């Protein structure tokens, strides 16, 4: 098989590798779903797949189209009311890691998935929080997965849907309640982490062939860099084989 | 006891009135499109539509002009894209304005639990650091009397009517469901009237041989409607799959107001009931959606005399 | 994955330590006497014993001197009478003093839910007009931020260890139960460690053919103990009935400290494990307790490929 | 069959008749259990039997020894977690009527089932509230069932376990939260109701052959009488037949 790989495949393997040591993960659809299943087959064999729709220990027989797909129920270890999932599993602190997408992200890792433009008269009405705000506040680790683009990486959000590390800069008190903030931002060009001190986003790793300048061009604020910037290892043939032959044979997310 | 079984037409005429608040719930699964289409056909107006995920079912009801307001937590076509009719209403006020009352999933769950429990509020760890409390005064903060910590609270939600689809019920309304249970039980207990719509009506004895499987007891059910495939293009675990072809088609046609109206003409106004709707489906659709059998083991409750 | 199956002795040695808080729950059903007897045999002391209904199981543990404190809502031998050992401790301080922390059933349920949910408190409509808040400072009143109404709140309860009996589990701890579910699920999620004790250990595939039947997921289970008849003289739905003869006998003998100690000598200290205990039962006891078969219908979850 | 009847049978039929028009009842054990099943077979054929242990629509095949008896589960319409029962059914306002026993009752219908003597050093430690306080506050109608005795009908309770109409006399505000107070007290000699105005207990009906004075002798305060005192109709042969042949064939509660 060709060792060429797509931007999506680079994001998938980066997310999967970030799940090493996680015992439980809240699974989204699309790339996050493939990433979680790849992690189970590589770095985290005991990883428990949890869906906010009310499923624990899912064994989907096909690539689920949504987090409500019936294939995540058949063969699962536990299926129950959503209140149990949100109260006892998520708020109960039983989710080690969760992957979130977003339409906008700022330098503190705050997310907007609600509106483009003013809330009362939006230019574009986006889906809204769903579980995102709840997950960011209650999961032990939050990973953001999104393409690098100046439309996404903005200096100021149109709406704060989901809290990041903003509380460092603003309200310290509520931080305990507002969760620990995102740990990693996974994009098609680079990986970003957040500074220990003030929680500002910094460039942590460049994907093969990508320059610091190319990244900075797509970020809407003066991007800080981590003390040392590493280079992301490309997908291994083994990882690509699992993705292409087992997880996404039809190449829907190629 | 007298049977609660009635037709979808009668159930909607009797319980869904102009201006009422309505929850047709179901998280991707069990979404009762048959009820939504009957409500559109009967020309209901000014409804407050309540759902965590408005989904196609409310996109269609908004496009048909039934809705005044939406109470929700996620506006999307799961795994596919946007809800274009709702977006037109919100972004352009077409066909008319649509009021939004917005929460997170957990916030909606908390409102349903409080409503079902006759609690004045429900506390949850969410919303802090979000703009949602700024645009929704129903989301407030409270100080915990034990440790003095701040925690968010939401008020009870009590829909006038809940319409809930499931696999089976008896004629009294004892309803059993398996698969993604979502918030079906909480919505049922929170609502003033409950209509259950089922794939099969079964003998009470069958229900009573597995009482732990009963999600909704008959004492809170007003009407039972027998409507096979009443959730299509949504799905019913073990009975049929989600019809992603129709969901994907909706993503395209719903971008075009005229195409959307043509769709409503053909699939909703143009048919008199769900049986007629099913006849319009491409040949082989229901067979295509049928899953392979995966049966559970029976369990023994024991007879104690 | 490595199996979590272990012996009762090892599970108790590993997770139940002197001074810890322990919930051996089950509302009349599923009460794991096998675990209680092993804890007595291992000589644990200063335990905080948590149960809605302390029942015979804690009457025996108190009589054996394992307990420092009781957190509960109803002190009785269901349908039979008093718990005489606990009454002696409370009324006469014999064999030693016993601290009481007392709620209503609803109050205990609220504490378990808050504990399982990582909520700082749980609100409920109870306690007003009662003296219980006067003798228990954990019961407080709060003002609802929406309508200004007063409502009672209780704090979370998080036992160090929960021991829960059920019909079956797989080797990882995915546990299925049917019958009176009580607060078993809430206690499991509220506790730091969970030991499940089951009548049968089954293949994961059997559990996974009916995921809605799973009460406790393996991710929160520390140990799985296979102990048939481990709940006797309590019962397990569909497996055996409550042994009212032994419960009634207890009402008599437990009035007499010496008779009670003789009972403990014979049934607890005098045996090395549950299998030896079962051999002491009068011939035909287990047959007498076996219910008639009443099997549920299988349901179809469908295979979606 | 003899038309002689026992004191218990008089209490059972009085309780059963009080359940006419009730659609749902929270069932206790012993006499209340027989009374509820008698009501289903006579005045309230659609009566739904609910047990706080987590059962709705029970069809017990034998006389349950406790509210946790497995016979109430087999053949029931619904069985679930106790939180559902207490949150959605009881607090949700779905219980029309409930029957409670008690060790002590005062003139306001307050109940004590916790201690005889001081709480910190009780002469007799009783079982405590269980669900009683929760039920009295959340059921639409509460019926008390207990034998008439001066040890039970006391001028002052040793402990307030469960609120009655006391709030009329004291704290009006909390009354809304503290439920509507008991409606009827059923004893072996007479029935008692509570005055509309101040909620004080009054003699409402005398069982056959019982005098007003005999009742007053067993009540620890100057007992008020209702405007008119009726006389309780004795058990009918039909009622006695159902109790003796169907509900309690072994005469456990005779």
* H helices present in D42-95, as ranges: 82-84
Q: How far is A88 from chain C (nearest CA, A)?
A: 5
Is D176 a residue whose pLDDT tops 60?
no
In angstroms, the separation between the Cα of residue C35 and the nearest Cα of chain B is 24
Q: How far is A59 from chain C (nearest CA, A)?
A: 9
Q: Write a three-state SS string for chain C.
A: CCCCEECHHHHHHHHCCCCCEEEECCCCECCCHHHHHHHHHCCCCCEEEECCCCHHHHHHHHHCCCEEEEEECCCCECCCECCHHHHHHHHHCCCCCCEEEECCHHHHHHHHHHHHHCCCCEEECCCCCCCHHHHCCCCEEEECCCCCCEEEEECCCCCCEEEEEEEEECCCCCEECCCCCCCHHHHHHHCCEEEEEEEEECCHHHHHCCHHHEEECHHHCCEEEECCCCCCCCEECCCECCCHHHHHHHHHHCCCHHHHHHHHHHHHHCCCCHHHHHHHCCCCHHHHCCCECCECCCCECCECC
Q: What average pLDDT is seen over chain D?
A: 92
- For D118-133, write each residue's pLDDT tens digit: 999 999 999 999 999 9
Query: Burial level of A172, CB count in 10 A (0-12/13-18/19+)?
Result: exposed
Count the helices and strands in chain B (H runs, E runs): 12, 12
Mean pLDDT (chain A) is 92
Token pair for D36: 């509820």
Mean pLDDT along residues C158-167: 98
Look at residues D57, D26, D44 and name the one whose alpha carbon lies nearest to residue D136: D26
Residues 108-147 of chain D whose Cβ lies under 8 A from any Cβ of chain C: 110, 114, 119, 122-134, 137-138
CB pair distance less than 8 Å for B219 and D84:
no
Give the whole-angstrom CA distance, residue C223 versus residue B140.
Answer: 41
Residue D236, helix vs strand vs coil: coil
Q: Cβ separation of D78 and B217 shorter than 8 Å?
A: yes
DSSP class of residue A87 equals: I
Contact C118 A24 (CB under 8 A): no
* Backbone angles phi and psi of C240, in degrees to 5: -160, 160
Neighbours of chain D (3+ CB pairs under 8 A): B, C
Distances from the Cα of C141 to the Cα of B44, B247, C124, D179, angstroms: 44, 50, 10, 16
Q: Using CB atoms, which residue from D24, D77, D93 is nearest to B118?
A: D93
Q: Give the nearest chain B residue to C297 (CA atoms).
A: B298
Candidates D54, D123, D132; nearest CB to C182: D54
Residue contact D86–C86, C-beta within 8 A? no
Q: Which of C28, C241, C294 sits opposite D66 (nearest CB)?
A: C28
In this prediction, residue B208 carries a pLDDT of 98
Which is catalytic among the residues D4, D9, D52, D239?
D52
Nearest CB to B208: which of D62, D77, D93? D77
How much is the average pLDDT of D92-105?
96
Whole-number Å distance between alpha carbons of D178 and D89:
17
- How far CA D253 is from CA of D19, D29, D63, D100, D238, in Å, comes to 20, 11, 11, 17, 18
Among the listed residues A9, A52, A200, A239, the single catalytic one is: A52
The sign of the CA dihedral B263, B264, B265, B270 is positive
What distance, in Å, lies between the first and last C-alpha atoms of chain D? Answer: 14
DSSP H helical ranges for chain B: 8-15, 33-41, 55-63, 84-92, 105-117, 132-135, 184-190, 204-208, 244-253, 257-264, 274-280, 285-288
Whether the model clears a pTM of 0.90, i.e. scores above it, the answer is yes
Pairing between β-strand B99-102 and β-strand B67-72 as defined by DSSP bridges: parallel
Q: Answer whether A87 sits within 8 Å of C116, measured CB to CB.
A: yes
- Specify the pLDDT at position A250: 87
* A9 carries an active-site annotation: no
Q: Is the Cβ–Cβ distance between C82 and C251 less than 8 Å? A: yes
Taking residue B20's Cβ as centre, other Cβ atoms within 10 Å add up to: 16
Residue A176 predicted with pLDDT over 70 = no
Instruction: Report the DSSP pairing between strands C150-154 and A190-194.
Output: unpaired
- For residue A252, the model assigns a pLDDT of 86
Q: For residue D173, what pLDDT is reported?
A: 37
| Nearest residue on chain A to C118, alpha-carbon basis | A92
**Cβ–Cβ gap B129/A52 under 8 Å:** no
Contacts of B1 in chain D (CB under 8 A): 46
Per-residue pLDDT, A169? 45
Sequential DSSP letters for B269-286: IT-SSHHHHHHHSPTTHH
Please check whether residue A80 touches B, CB under 8 A: yes
d(C-alpha C41, C-alpha B291), whole Å: 53
Segment D209-238, tens digit of pLDDT: 999 999 999 999 999 999 999 999 999 999
Band of residue A178 on the pLDDT scale cut at 50, 70, 90: low
Instruction: Give the separation between CA D37 and CA C178, rounded to whole angstroms.
Output: 25
Cα A227 from Cα A223, distance rounded (Å): 13
Q: Which residues of C touch A93 (CB under 8 A)?
A: 118
The distance of A94 to chain B (nearest Cα, Å) reads: 14
Q: Find all residues with CB under 8 Å of D209, minimum gap 6, and list them.
A: none
State how far the Cα of C90 lies from the Cα of C97, in Å rounded to an integer. Answer: 7
pLDDT, tens digit (0-9, with 9 covering 90-100), for C195-243: 999 999 999 999 999 999 999 999 999 999 999 999 999 999 999 999 9
Interface contacts A/C by beta carbons within 8 Å = 73
Residue A173 has what pLDDT? 37
Taking Cα atoms as reference points, which of B3, B278, B261, B20 lies closest to residue B163? B20
Site from D67, D104, D134, D142 to mutate, C interface, most C CB atoms within 10 angstroms:
D134
Spatial contact of A98 and A90, defined as CB atoms under 8 Å apart: no
- CB contact under 8 Å between B181 and A166, yes or no, is no
Q: Do B78 and A122 touch (CB under 8 A)?
A: no
DSSP designation for D172: S
pLDDT at position D83, please? 98
Residue D172's pLDDT is 43
Contact D88 B211 (CB under 8 A): no
CB-based contact A127 B126, cutoff 8 Å: no
Tell me whether strands C214-216 and C175-176 are parallel, antiparallel or unpaired. Answer: antiparallel
Instruction: Nearest chain D residue to C290 by CA: give it.
Output: D70
Phi and psi at D168, nearest 5°, equal -55, -50
Question: Rounded to whole angstroms, what are the CA distances from B229 to A239, D57, D177?
Answer: 41, 29, 45
Distance between CA D3 and CA A32 in Å, rounded?
A: 77
DSSP element (H, E) containing D229: strand D224-231
Per-residue b or e along B177-206, where b marks 16 or more CB atoms closer than 10 Å to that residue's CB: bbbbbbbbbbbbbbbebbbbbbbeebebeb
Q: What are the tens digits of pLDDT across the range D153-171?
A: 999 999 999 999 865 445 5
Write the residue in C120, C167, C301 that is nearest to B146 by C-beta.
Answer: C120
Is the distance from CB of A144 to CB of A100 less than 8 angstroms? yes
Distance CA C13, CA C39 (A): 8
Q: Are C192 and C159 in contact (CB under 8 A)?
A: yes
The SS3 assignment for B90 reads helix
The ipTM assigned to this model is 0.97
Lowest mean pLDDT among A30-34, B126-130, C152-156: A30-34
Instruction: Compute φ and ψ for B244, nearest 5 degrees.
Output: -65, -25
- Over residues A125-136, the pLDDT tens digits come to 999 999 999 999
């Amino acid at each position: 098989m060709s060792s060429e790989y797509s931007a999506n495949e680079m994001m998938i393997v980066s997310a999967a590798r970030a799940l090493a040591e996680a015992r439980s993960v809240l699974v989204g659809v699309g790339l996050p779903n493939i990433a979680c299943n790849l992690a189970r087959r590589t770095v985290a064999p005991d990883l428990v797949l949890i869906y906010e729709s009310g499923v624990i220990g899912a064994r989907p027989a096909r690539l689920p189209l949504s987090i409500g797909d019936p294939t995540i129920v058949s063969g699962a270890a536990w299926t129950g009311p959503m209140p149990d999932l949100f109260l006892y599993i998520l708020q109960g602190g039983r989710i080690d890691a969760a992957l979130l997408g977003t339409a906008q992200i700022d330098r503190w890792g705050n997310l907007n998935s609600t509106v483009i433009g003013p809330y009362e008269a939006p230019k574009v009405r986006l889906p809204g929080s769903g579980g995102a705000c709840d997950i960011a506040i209650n999961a032990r680790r939050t990973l953001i997965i999104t393409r690098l683009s100046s439309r996404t990486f903005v200096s100021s959000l149109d709406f704060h849907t989901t809290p990041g590390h903003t509380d460092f800069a603003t309200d310290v008190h509520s931080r305990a309640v507002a969760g620990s903030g995102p740990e990693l931002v996974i994009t098609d060009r680079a990986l970003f982490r957040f500074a220990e001190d003030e929680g500002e986003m910094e460039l942590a790793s460049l994907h093969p062939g990508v320059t610091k300048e190319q990244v900075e061009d797509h970020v809407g604020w003066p991007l800080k860099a981590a003390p040392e910037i590493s280079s992301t290892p490309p997908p291994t043939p083994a990882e690509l084989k699992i993705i292409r032959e087992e997880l996404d044979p039809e190449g829907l997310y190629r | 006891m007298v049977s609660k079984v009635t037709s979808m037409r009668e159930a909607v005429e009797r319980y869904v009135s102009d201006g009422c608040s309505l929850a047709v719930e179901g998280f991707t699964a069990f979404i009762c499109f048959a009820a939504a289409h009957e409500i559109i056909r009967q020309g209901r107006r000014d409804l407050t539509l309540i759902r965590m995920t408005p989904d196609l079912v409310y996109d269609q009801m908004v496009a048909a002009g039934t809705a005044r307001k939406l109470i929700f937590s996620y506006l999307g076509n799961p795994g596919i894209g946007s809800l274009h009719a709702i977006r037109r209403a919100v972004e352009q006020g077409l066909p008319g304005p649509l009021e939004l009352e917005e929460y997170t999933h957990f916030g909606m769950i908390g409102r349903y639990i409080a409503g079902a429990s006759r609690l004045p509020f429900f506390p949850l760890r969410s919303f802090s650091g979000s703009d949602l409390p700024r645009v929704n005064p129903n989301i407030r903060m409270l100080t915990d009397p034990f440790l003095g910590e701040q925690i968010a609270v939401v008020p009870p939600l009590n829909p006038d009517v809940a319409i809930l689809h499931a696999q089976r019920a008896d004629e009294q309304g004892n309803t059993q469901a398996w698969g993604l249970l979502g918030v079906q039980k909480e919505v049922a207990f929170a609502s003033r009237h409950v209509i259950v719509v089922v794939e099969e009506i079964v003998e009470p004895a069958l229900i009573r041989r597995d009482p732990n499987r009963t999600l909704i007891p008959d004492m809170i059910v007003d009407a039972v409607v027998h409507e096979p495939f009443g959730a299509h293009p949504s799905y019913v675990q073990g009975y049929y799959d989600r019809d992603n072809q129709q969901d994907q088609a909706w993503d395209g046609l719903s971008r075009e107001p005229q195409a959307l109206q043509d769709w409503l003409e053909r699939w909703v106004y143009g048919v008199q009931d769900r049986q007629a709707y099913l006849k319009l489906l491409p040949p082989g659709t229901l067979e295509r959606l049928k899953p392979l059998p995966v049966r559970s083991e029976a369990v023994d409750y024991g007879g104690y005399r």
